[in-house]
Structure formats: structure tokens, C-alpha cells
Amino acid sequence: HPITHDLAEALVADEIDLMFQPQFASDSQALVGAEALVRWRHPNHGVLAGDALVGIAQSGGMARRLARHIARSALREAASWPPVLRLSLNVTAMDLADRSFAEEMLALVAQSGFPADRLTLEITEQALVADLERSAKRLATLAEAGIRIALDDFGAGFCNFRYLKTLPIDALKLDRSMIEGVAQDKRDLAILRGILAMADALGLTVIAEGVETDDQRLIAAREGCAVWQGFLGAEPMAASDFTLFAAR
Ligand code: G
Ligand code: G
Ligand code: MN
Ligand code: NA
């Protein structure tokens, strides 16, 4: 397929861009880190976002190459950030299904000079359906090295609560849909409270995603989300802009 061929060339030519979206502490409003989000400025198809790009890579047998490329670039960039900031990387089912996933990730971290204990891997719930036991082992290897594991898009798809028991999860990243209505709809607030009570009992940190208004931010903070991310704070930005943002 031509677009897969284009992707192979883009990887070689280093045309894959990473954007970084800031994350903030709910109490102090301090910048605490950023999530790396991949973009491909395709010459004919415009800008392709993360899920489209990852889908193309997967169907073209290039998922591992792309994931390695993203991790390497993001870690290299983050190595020059102020040494209090954390980096979050997105990880898919396919990445995790790879037998050498943990070793490769640890090698990339070591090569970058970025400390493992400032790295978070965001894993989508759906990503874990296949092969829970092996995924748990791989994640445990990474957790032992100090890497934190977050369940991404929590509340968006189906919640498999078994994951929370089986996997070495440190954090829940609440899907935007769980935050959207909390200021208007009592049911949304009730659901948020229930999830936060569970997270608290399990000792999990909670990150609110897709925060677009002050009301959403204040409610998320009041109810116990320690960290927030969303257009209210900042949109995903180029690496050089994030460096300026962090220094402001
Ligand atoms: O910001 P953006 O529209 O690119 O994000 C769309 C989706 O793509 C999100 O669900 C995000 O998790 C995913 N995504 C973004 N960057 C990456 C990446 O580097 N790796 C993987 N696997 N997914 C990503
Ligand atoms: O990996 P994840 O599924 O969490 O991907 C984050 C996605 O959410 C990215 O596409 C990012 O651009 C988008 N995003 C981040 N903040 C906001 C927000 O406040 N509102 C909306 N609508 N999207 C957001
Ligand atoms: Mn994510
Ligand atoms: Na998400």
C-alpha cells in the first residue's frame, strides 16, 4: 500500500513529529509533565493524528518500528527538560504483545539518559484484552525499574476491573467523556465520585483528561484528581514550544 511505503520513508527521513501536551498538578497548578502525541505531516493527506498513524503502521507491519521511533524521540527530548517533569508515552496492545517489549523499552530509556522513574506508560484498556498474564509480567518488569503504568481512556470503553487487580497499575487516566458533564449533570458527578472512591481505596493516582473549563478543573480537583490535562491548560505543542512553556 502506498501510504505504508510513505510511512517507511517518513521514518527514515524523520518526518514524524511529536507534540507534547502539558499536565498540571491540581493543588499547585504547577506543570508536572507532558504526554507525547505523535503527528505525521503527510505531503498529500495532511496531518495524520496518533490513532490514524498507528493504524497505518499496524496494517503495514511497522508498528514496532514506529513505537520505537516515538519512544526514542520522546525520551531524547524529555532528557533535556527540567528534572522534575514527567513524560507520558502511549502504548498499544500490539506494543505490549511483543515478547521483547519490556527489554526494548528499558534499553531505550537507558540510552536516552531520561530517568525511568519519571516515565509513565499510558495503556488503553482495550489494549490489554489479549494475553493479560503475559502483559502483566511485562508491565511488572517495567514497574520494577520505576516506570509508572497508567490505564488510559478509563471509562470510555468497557471497564475490565480485573485489570486493576491483575496489572501493576499506578494511575487511572479518566477519559474526556467522564469529565465533560461533571459541572452540569449530577449523574456524571456521581460516576466520577464512585471511580475516585475506588481509585482511592486501591491507592491509584487519578488524572483528569480533556479538561476544557474552569468548572471541570475545579470539580476534578475537589473530587480528588491529582493531575489534570486539557485544552484549558494547553493544547499539544511542538517540542521547542514545550521547552519554552516549561521555562515560563
Ligand atoms: O492527539 P491525538 O489526536 O493525536 O491523539 C489521538 C489518539 O492517538 C489518542 O488516543 C492517542 O492515545 C493516540 N496516540 C497519540 N500519540 C500516540 C503514540 O505515540 N502512540 C500511540 N500508540 N498512540 C498515540
Ligand atoms: O491518548 P489519549 O486518548 O488520551 O489522547 C489524547 C487526545 O485528546 C489527543 O488527541 C489530544 O489532542 C486530545 N485532547 C487533549 N486535551 C483535550 C481537550 O481538552 N479537549 C478535547 N476535545 N480533546 C483533548
Ligand atoms: Mn493517552
Ligand atoms: Na485518553
Q: What is the pLDDT of residues 146-192, one digit of tens each?
A: 999 999 999 987 667 888 888 899 999 999 999 999 999 999 999 99
pLDDT of residue 127: 61
Task: Sort 1 into a burial class: Cβ within 10 Å, 0-12 / 13-18 / 19+.
Answer: exposed
Spell out the domain ranges in the chain: 2-247
Distance CA 121, CA 49 (A): 19
pLDDT given at position 128? 60
Which pLDDT band holds residue 97 (cuts at 50, 70, 90)? confident
CA angle 219, 157, 49 (to 5 degrees): 85
In sign, the C-alpha dihedral spanning 86, 215, 202, 136 is negative
Confidence at residue 158, expressed as pLDDT on a 0 to 100 scale: 67
Residue 49 in this model has a pLDDT that exceeds 80: yes
| pLDDT beyond 80 at 4 | yes
Q: Which atom of ligand 1 is nearest to the CA of 21?
A: 1
162 touches 135 (CB < 8 A):
no
> Residue 119 has what pLDDT?
98
One of 3.20.20.450, 3.40.50.10310, 3.30.1330.60, 3.30.365.10 is the CATH number of 2-247, namely 3.20.20.450
Mean pLDDT throughout 52-61? 91
Q: Which residues form ligand 2's pocket by a CB distance below 6 Å?
A: 21, 37, 90, 122, 152-153, 176, 209-212, 230-231, 236
Of 7, 47, 51, the one to substitute when testing ligand 1's pocket (max ligand atoms within 8 A of C-beta) is: 51
Q: Is the pLDDT of residue 101 over 90?
A: yes
ipTM of the complex: 0.95
Joined grid coordinates for residue 121: 506508560
Nearest residue to 216 via CA among 203, 198, 229 = 229
pLDDT higher at 6 or 129:
6
Question: What is the SS3 assignment for 169-228?
Answer: CCEEEECHHHHCCCCCCHHHHHHHHHHHHHHHHHCCEEEECCCCCHHHHHHHHHHCCCEE
Most confident of 7-16, 78-87, 93-102: 78-87
Identity of the residue numbered 132: L
The least confident of 7-16, 83-92, 95-104, 228-237 is 7-16
Q: Is 236 in the pocket of ligand 1 (CB under 6 A)?
A: yes
Q: What pLDDT is attached to residue 15?
A: 85
> Which ligand is nearest the CA of 88, by number?
3
CA-based nearest residue to 33, from 90, 89, 86, 88: 86
Residue 175 CA: nearest ligand 2 atom is 4
Say if CB 136 and CB 143 are below 8 A apart. no
Strand-pairing partners, residue 46, are 42
**CA end-to-end span of the chain, whole Å?**
45
The atom number, within ligand 1, closest to the CA of 74 reads 19
Residue with CA closest to ligand 1 atom 5: 50
The identity of residue 163, as a single letter, is Y
Distance CA 219, CA 237 (A): 26
Q: Return the amino acid letter for 54.
A: V
| CA-atom Rg of the chain in angstroms | 18
pLDDT given at position 124: 82
Mutation to probe ligand 2, out of 227, 231, 232 (largest number of atoms < 8 A from CB): 231
